[in-house]
Amino acid sequence: MRCILTIVGVCLAFSFIDGVSSKEPVYQFVDGFMKQSEKCNEEFNLSMSDLKKLKAGTLDNINPCFFACILKNFGMIDDMGMYQQNENNEEFKKTFESDADMKKFNNDIKECESVNKENVSDGNKGCERSVKLLDCVENMFPTLKSPMK
């Protein structure tokens, strides 16, 4: 029962797309993000309360390493906790309908590389930087209503 509630909760928590076509690469990324969040929630075990907070737009008491888990699975956060554009990661590649969509998404968020210059207190864990990266992605796509604010 908890597993079903978790899956439903994760889907609700990340249903922050408003007016974005399912064909657009950013939507494909969000869909893959939701799938990875289910895997990472097995490790981080977010409560329904946490998922509701996330949907409401607050990160209070939500472990930022949850986001690092997702982005590491995509190869977007490396072992040094830094953002990288990784078109070779299988999980990341299968998120997109085509290589062209994947490349478009990477090109659209290229300026997010600036998160690597920001100071973080968690060293090479990548947790804080993951939240910064998701904030940046949200800023690149105004149609996203991200829980990262």
Nearest to 3 by CA among 36, 48, 34, 33: 48
Note the maximum CA span of the chain. 43
Q: Which CATH number fits the domain that encloses residue 10?
A: 1.10.238
HEC assignment per residue over 100-113: HHHHHHHHHCHHHH
Residue 26 located in a structural domain: yes
Establish if 56 belongs to a structural domain.
Answer: yes
Looking at residue 22, its amino acid is S
pTM of the model: 0.78
Asked, for residue 110, whether it belongs to a domain, the answer is: yes
pLDDT in tens, 77-128: 999 999 998 788 888 999 999 999 999 999 999 999 999 999 999 999 999 9
53 found inside a domain = yes
